[in-house]
Structure 1
Amino acid sequence: MRVAVVGAGISGLAAAYTLVKAGVEVVLYEKEDYLGGHAKTVSVDGLLLDLGFMVFNRVTYPNMMELFESLGVEMEKSDMSFAVSLDDGKGYEWGSRNGFSSLFAQKANIFNPHFWQMIREIFKFKADVLRYLEELDNNPDKDHSETLEHFIRSHGYSELFQKGYLIPVCASIWSCPSEGVLRFSAYSVLSFCRNHHLLQTIFGALSLYNLHVTCLVMYLLYCRKLCCLLELIQLSILVSPFPFSLILISLMLPFTFQLFGRPQWLTVKSRSQCYVDKIREELESRSCTIRTRCAVESVFSTDAGCCVVGEDCSKDIYDGCIISTHAPDALKFLGEQATSEEARILGAFQYNLHSTKLPFLVTLNPKRVPKHSLLKWCTSHPFPSVAASKASLKLENIQGKRRIWFSGAYQGYGFHEDGLKAGVAVANNVLNNDIVLLRNPKHMVPSLMECGARFLVTRFLANYIATGCVTLLEEGGNIYILEGATTNNTKKAILRVHNPLFYWKIATEVDIGLADAYINGYFSFVDKENGLLDLFLRSEKFPWEESKSNGFFNLFLDETMTYSSAIFKTQNEDLKTAQLRKISLLIKKAQVEGKHEVLEIGCGWGSLAIEVVKQTGCRYTGVTLSQEQLTFAKRRAKEAGLEDCTNFILMDYRQLPKYHKYDRIISCEMIEAVGHEYIDDFFSCCESLLSTDGILVLQFISIPDQRYDEYRRSSDFIKEYIFPGGCLPSLNRITTGMATSSKLCIEHIENIGIHYYQTLICWRNNLLANKDKIIALGFDEKFVRTWEYYFVYCAAGFKSCTLEDYQIVFSRPGNIGAFGEPFKKQDDLLARLPPSINHVYRDFTAGLQAHCGSRGKTKRDGGFLSGMVEWAASALW
């Protein structure tokens, strides 16, 4: 399918973007040399300025917010407010920016009965509007032709309410002369006010009497007549039964609310051309043809298709055409081929500015003609007239006729969200797809307690973040951008806050509260892949035993069923290969031979058991506390034909008989479950089970020594949700336990912690890929979110190198058999080479020795030569 889109404003861009994503071949026409329509950005002295009015919010612009977030468009707060000054400052003045202080910008109005009458009518206006709209919505056949003037008169509003409130607010919204406001469609204007939360007030449920007293408190504070809490209490007694709590609320209101209680207004951080450029990149990457400076002369239908004629006399035939321009321009393109219905409907939409008329400037500046101008630019905006209101109900009658569709902001209230919705809807109409556009989310209005919690959390984060940026996007609420002191870090975590309990949880429970909020869905991330990890780099519980199901672990572990850190050779190496490498390294460090008997404390699902017996032919004993793991490991050994060499026991390691000695003991990430108090007992038990020349190899997750005491005395997410009673030991705690309770010493130590990050990300990806299967096992969404949080929570610690994962080799002093021969390692490697390549190794080393001798190497080069020989053996093996 080949479709033309005429007009590259927000509606045309949305239509083209929707079509190209569906695989349609699109040609986009634009008469200007830039895309975006009203989204025009100019640079003045290095400062980017938007000529169009580009503001939006998270409540009344849900589809635009979704588009921006999908494109990665950064947003910031817009300091937009209303202010009115009548008679060149000689009349009434008020504003909405700073609550009561702006409302009573003229302090004398606190005692002005006419001003209070206007405020009373603001209360009344909300109730009247909601009642009026409910009646029309419940009776769709009822006439919608009433004007705003008729509505005002029928409800008896004062002249000051009209001139000091309603008319200037509407004139500023639709950028039009005040004289024409009352001729607007009452239904269009009032439904817009309801939709955009312009009926809200800061006064809420306060009665007018209580509001008077609240304002009196504010005035006295302003005049410094009230100085202490005692005077506030005395005032509350004097104005009884006015509650003291309302006086306290009056102190908080100016810092919490704006006049209309609206959602917070936002704008594009790098100006509106930024989002246009991102859409353009998407269009071009999908082979969309963009023709700027290509004005269209006409659009008409033929038997071959839809013909688009340019002013340069070019003609192109398409399967369909979407005209995304102002309604009068669309009608002009159709020319004589326009049907009477198209002429009637499209001709009903009127605009405030035309290039043939003098522009009307709405400004806060004095009424004078500017002496100097940097740029002259003309734009226009549709009026919410009665005729337009009626025509909008009949637009479906002309869509798709003769393979021509129409879209534009005029199909709604005339703003960016309306243009976007119209473009997406008409593109799906072309595709014959059903589309459900996003509806306005509920406006998030936190309670006073939640407001306090939000204040504490945002203040804490603002001071706590060291690098990068955390953005909180309230669903139907505000936006908070919290940046670290280091601004050159590009890491960003963008959170969607779905419930104000998010703040309360964090304020009262800190990191456990953050985990609880995530698990309960109080917040989520725009970047579903790395959002949680990026945040870290900046209740109901699930007991561990309950989730210890083979079926569950099988859905995120690899084939080896190894639940500990792997060791990766490359970034994209598969998890199974990396786990087998880690197991082989443990076997190598333990120096296991065929004559040895190996004990594994915490055998898991038997992955090390299978490999150590396969590689060395030793005898193996493994202990576990999980019946499911025991059954699985036994079955696995039997299937591998190794059941005669392996012995799996359901037992606490402390109950093993001390008279039976083991040549090697391996414990991989089990000691974390032992607990701080029992680490000494662990080493004491290991030594009593270890033969004279035995070796103990321990792998464990470790927390830095500096944080250990604070960590073990407190509670965190992992202790609460995953391992109740567990404790990550510090390196010092391990060595202290060794020295205090045994005669063991350290022979070798290695930190493999950075590999745990990659391991955890693999587990997390497997978890999410098998989410439906996990839920089918009987677990719920909250369970999956708990484990996702756990994996990313830990991954952040390892990626930032604030958690370690050690492999330590222990033995008794004087163990000459294992550690007394420095060249034994080289000989062991040679003995383990397959016979088929043994001669290759010998020829290589002989040639290397001859080469070194011919170059006159001396005995002091023996270390280099020995190292090369060992490297060659290791590589070949």
Structure 2
Amino acid sequence: MLLWFLKKVVSHGHLIVIMPDGSRHEFGPFAKGPRVAIRIVGKGTDRWIAMNPDLRVGEAYMDGRLVVDEGTIRDFLEIALVSYQVLPKAMQFLQMPRVRNMLRDMKVRNRIGVAEKNVKHHYDLSGELYDLFLDKNRQYSCAYFTKPEEDIETAQVNKLQHIAAKLRVGKDHNVLDIGCGWGGMAIFLAKTYGARVTGVTLSDEQHAYANAWVKREGLEHLVTIKKLDYRLEPGVYDRIVSVGMFEHVGQPHFQEFFTHVKRLLKDDGVCLLHTIGRTDPPCHINDWVRQYIFPGAYLPSLSQLAPIVENLGMYLTDFENLRLHYAETLKAWHERFDARRDEAKALYDEQFCRMWEFYLASCEMGFRYQNLVVFHLQITKNFNVLPMTRDYMVDEERRLKAQAAGRQGFTMAAE
């Protein structure tokens, strides 16, 4: 069954499959793409994978039933995802699971308490793990590459500057950071503008780390980090920023999220939402990613967000589609993780390392070859609180870069 499936699907690269009985099967070579040899281990594994490849390819790689003998798991996923992208739509049998999964997405409820449990699944892993592959400021979201050759450290500072320029933060502003992570954005805005920033997170590990970082920086008078669901935050703010958190909200809670943004934002305030999105119509998230990496997650289409903002009487004052930036971010993370893989194995085990490799590689391929992007939505309650053109963003970003260059590079390291 698996071989029949691959014969129908593979149209990129050169894939060699060695079955449990030792038989060798080749697909390609085609004009473009890598050469990869995989080995299927265990009687019946091929059929088991073919019954639900979205979930079971990753599971088979994790537990050693799918072994990459030539090339890398990243190469194999490139062949798979590029081939799937050009699959004829007439092959409707491959779309049947989507109906089931879209119905399931509508039932996912990330209520208060459930949301915290989902966050802990991923973000309360050892901080030592994240230090193996993230930048020195633990920015665990899409970086912003202004030049292809930039390293991840530079690109993550670019991201902070790019978002800050869109927020138009002032020294007298109170800022809310929804899903503040380890505190990088909050500390950046406080150090750069002297703004008062409140960050909220549901992760115990992030809460402790961010507060310790704030204390080391001597910013307790400007930055407050709370372990709190944003829906319980009582304040009102001049600026709201949320980076890499909306993916965890869940489709049934989109309306609720923006309703709280409206409640928390002053009438002359500005909100900047940075979220993974998709360029195609609404669709489910990959089964394997949801089960093993981000339970409760959902990636929105713009068509799901803009009508909510409109119906709440708010304004989408600026929109940017960041293409390929996350692919480059994930590639950098994967390279850094691979370079320190032995340390990750010492923290966890071999199966965990294979899970993490599959996570980083599959997500990179989704952003590089399929329909995943990052959205920047700038939202206001008043149509006239920002200048008529985007020049102010460009000017402020240039000012921030010049300021950082004058200090011989931006320094905000957590350690």
The TM-score normalised by the length of structure 2 is: 0.82
- In structure 2, the residue matched to 1:489 is 32
For the Cα contact (< 8 Å) 1:697–1:809, is it kept in 2? Answer: yes
Match of 2:25 among 480, 484, 487: 480
For the Cα contact (< 8 Å) 1:613–1:645, is it kept in 2? Answer: yes
For the Cα contact (< 8 Å) 1:754–1:798, is it kept in 2? Answer: yes
Does structure 1 residue 621 correspond to structure 2 residue 165? no
Q: How do residues 56-455 of structure 1 correspond to structure 2 at under 5 angstroms?
A: none
- In structure 2, the residue matched to 1:685 is 260
Report how far residue 830 of structure 1 moved: 9.1
Provide the rounded CA distance (Å) in 2 between the counterparts of 1:647 and 1:575. Answer: 27
- In structure 2, the residue matched to 1:534 is 78
Does structure 1 residue 697 correspond to structure 2 residue 293? no
- In structure 2, the residue matched to 1:819 is 387
Matched residue of 2:385: which SS? helix
Matched residue of 1:559: which SS? coil
Does structure 1 residue 463 correspond to structure 2 residue 8? yes
Report how far residue 804 of structure 1 moved: 1.1
Provide the rounded CA distance (Å) in 2 between the counterparts of 1:618 and 1:592. Answer: 7
Amino acid at match of 2:72: K
Post-superposition CA distance 1:109-131 (Å, at most 9, x none): xxxxxxxxxxxxxxxxxxxxxxx
Report how far residue 556 of structure 1 moved: 1.7
CA, structure 1 residues 488+638, in 2 after alignment: closer, same or farther (shift >3 Å)?
A: same
Provide the rounded CA distance (Å) in 2 between the counterparts of 1:672 and 1:472. Answer: 35
For the Cα contact (< 8 Å) 1:492–1:534, is it kept in 2? Answer: no
Post-superposition CA distance 1:782-803 (Å, at most 9, x none): 1111111011111001111421
- In structure 1, the residue matched to 2:325 is 755
CA, structure 1 residues 832+782, in 2 after alignment: closer, same or farther (shift >3 Å)?
A: closer
Post-superposition CA distance 1:770-821 (Å, at most 9, x none): 22222322x121111111101111100111142111112111242x232347
CA, structure 1 residues 830+784, in 2 after alignment: closer, same or farther (shift >3 Å)?
A: closer
Provide the rounded CA distance (Å) in 2 between the counterparts of 1:833 and 1:764. Answer: 27
- In structure 1, the residue matched to 2:108 is none
- In structure 1, the residue matched to 2:151 is 574
Amino acid at match of 1:587: A
CA, structure 1 residues 668+544, in 2 after alignment: closer, same or farther (shift >3 Å)?
A: closer
Provide the rounded CA distance (Å) in 2 between the counterparts of 1:826 and 1:565. Answer: 20
Larger Rg: 1
Post-superposition CA distance 1:350-400 (Å, at most 9, x none): xxxxxxxxxxxxxxxxxxxxxxxxxxxxxxxxxxxxxxxxxxxxxxxxxxx
Post-superposition CA distance 1:439-464 (Å, at most 9, x none): xxxxxxxxxxxxxxxxx111111112
For the Cα contact (< 8 Å) 1:754–1:801, is it kept in 2? Answer: no
Does structure 1 residue 591 correspond to structure 2 residue 135? no
Report how far residue 697 of structure 1 moved: 0.4
Q: How do residues 794-809 of structure 1 correspond to structure 2 at under 5 angstroms?
A: 794-809=363-378
Amino acid at match of 1:689: L
- In structure 2, the residue matched to 1:810 is 379
Post-superposition CA distance 1:275-319 (Å, at most 9, x none): xxxxxxxxxxxxxxxxxxxxxxxxxxxxxxxxxxxxxxxxxxxxx
Amino acid at match of 1:617: G
Report how far residue 745 of structure 1 moved: 1.6
Match of 2:239 among 639, 664, 667: 664
- The answer to which of 673-682 and 804-813 deviates more is 804-813
CA, structure 1 residues 463+823, in 2 after alignment: closer, same or farther (shift >3 Å)?
A: closer
CA, structure 1 residues 639+817, in 2 after alignment: closer, same or farther (shift >3 Å)?
A: same
- In structure 2, the residue matched to 1:602 is 179
- In structure 1, the residue matched to 2:232 is 655
CA, structure 1 residues 728+681, in 2 after alignment: closer, same or farther (shift >3 Å)?
A: same
For the Cα contact (< 8 Å) 1:493–1:534, is it kept in 2? Answer: no
For the Cα contact (< 8 Å) 1:533–1:795, is it kept in 2? Answer: no
- In structure 2, the residue matched to 1:283 is none
For the Cα contact (< 8 Å) 1:746–1:809, is it kept in 2? Answer: yes
Higher RCO (Cα < 8 Å, 6 or more apart):
2
Amino acid at match of 1:468: G
- In structure 2, the residue matched to 1:522 is 65
Matched residue of 1:496: which SS? strand
For the Cα contact (< 8 Å) 2:166–2:393, is it kept in 1? Answer: no
Provide the rounded CA distance (Å) in 1 between the counterparts of 2:33 and 2:402. Answer: 51
Match of 1:506 among 27, 34, 49: 49
CA, structure 1 residues 821+790, in 2 after alignment: closer, same or farther (shift >3 Å)?
A: closer
Report how far residue 769 of structure 1 moved: 2.2
Matched residue of 2:212: which SS? helix
Report how far residue 832 of structure 1 moved: 7.2
Alignment coverage as a number of residue pairs:
367
Report how far residue 834 of structure 1 moved: 7.4
Post-superposition CA distance 1:677-706 (Å, at most 9, x none): 000000000010001111110111112333
For the Cα contact (< 8 Å) 1:544–1:722, is it kept in 2? Answer: no
Report how far residue 501 of structure 1 moved: 4.1
- In structure 2, the residue matched to 1:565 is 142
Provide the rounded CA distance (Å) in 2 between the counterparts of 1:553 and 1:812. Answer: 37
Provide the rounded CA distance (Å) in 1 between the counterparts of 2:44 and 2:185. Answer: 45
CA, structure 1 residues 500+796, in 2 after alignment: closer, same or farther (shift >3 Å)?
A: farther
Matched residue of 1:819: which SS? coil
For the Cα contact (< 8 Å) 1:505–1:514, is it kept in 2? Answer: no
For the Cα contact (< 8 Å) 1:532–1:789, is it kept in 2? Answer: no
Matched residue of 1:818: which SS? coil
Provide the rounded CA distance (Å) in 2 between the counterparts of 1:733 and 1:684. Answer: 14
Report how far residue 590 of structure 1 moved: 0.8
Amino acid at match of 1:471: I
CA, structure 1 residues 826+474, in 2 after alignment: closer, same or farther (shift >3 Å)?
A: closer
Provide the rounded CA distance (Å) in 2 between the counterparts of 1:829 and 1:582. Answer: 10
Provide the rounded CA distance (Å) in 1 between the counterparts of 2:395 and 2:33. Answer: 51
Report how far residue 504 of structure 1 moved: 2.6
For the Cα contact (< 8 Å) 2:2–2:49, is it kept in 1? Answer: yes
For the Cα contact (< 8 Å) 2:82–2:370, is it kept in 1? Answer: no
Amino acid at match of 2:386: A
Provide the rounded CA distance (Å) in 1 between the counterparts of 2:309 and 2:377. Answer: 12
Runs of 4+ aligned residues of structure 1 deviating over 4 Å after TM superposition are: 820-835
Report how far residue 488 of structure 1 moved: 2.5
Does structure 1 residue 783 correspond to structure 2 residue 352? yes
Does structure 1 residue 772 correspond to structure 2 residue 342? yes
For the Cα contact (< 8 Å) 2:20–2:43, is it kept in 1? Answer: no
Matched residue of 1:494: which SS? strand
- In structure 1, the residue matched to 2:292 is 721
For the Cα contact (< 8 Å) 1:500–1:522, is it kept in 2? Answer: no
Provide the rounded CA distance (Å) in 2 between the counterparts of 1:507 and 1:831. Answer: 54
For the Cα contact (< 8 Å) 1:625–1:650, is it kept in 2? Answer: yes
For the Cα contact (< 8 Å) 2:163–2:272, is it kept in 1? Answer: yes
- In structure 2, the residue matched to 1:7 is none
Provide the rounded CA distance (Å) in 2 between the counterparts of 1:491 and 1:788. Answer: 18
The TM-score normalised by the length of structure 1 is: 0.40
For the Cα contact (< 8 Å) 1:566–1:581, is it kept in 2? Answer: yes
CA, structure 1 residues 674+492, in 2 after alignment: closer, same or farther (shift >3 Å)?
A: same
Matched residue of 1:555: which SS? helix
Provide the rounded CA distance (Å) in 1 between the counterparts of 2:397 and 2:301. Answer: 34
- In structure 2, the residue matched to 1:281 is none
Report how far residue 759 of structure 1 moved: 0.8
For the Cα contact (< 8 Å) 1:624–1:651, is it kept in 2? Answer: yes
- In structure 2, the residue matched to 1:176 is none
CA, structure 1 residues 770+488, in 2 after alignment: closer, same or farther (shift >3 Å)?
A: closer
For the Cα contact (< 8 Å) 2:2–2:50, is it kept in 1? Answer: yes
Provide the rounded CA distance (Å) in 1 between the counterparts of 2:13 and 2:74. Answer: 14
Post-superposition CA distance 1:180-230 (Å, at most 9, x none): xxxxxxxxxxxxxxxxxxxxxxxxxxxxxxxxxxxxxxxxxxxxxxxxxxx
Provide the rounded CA distance (Å) in 1 between the counterparts of 2:391 and 2:120. Answer: 47
- The answer to which of 493-502 and 677-686 deviates more is 493-502
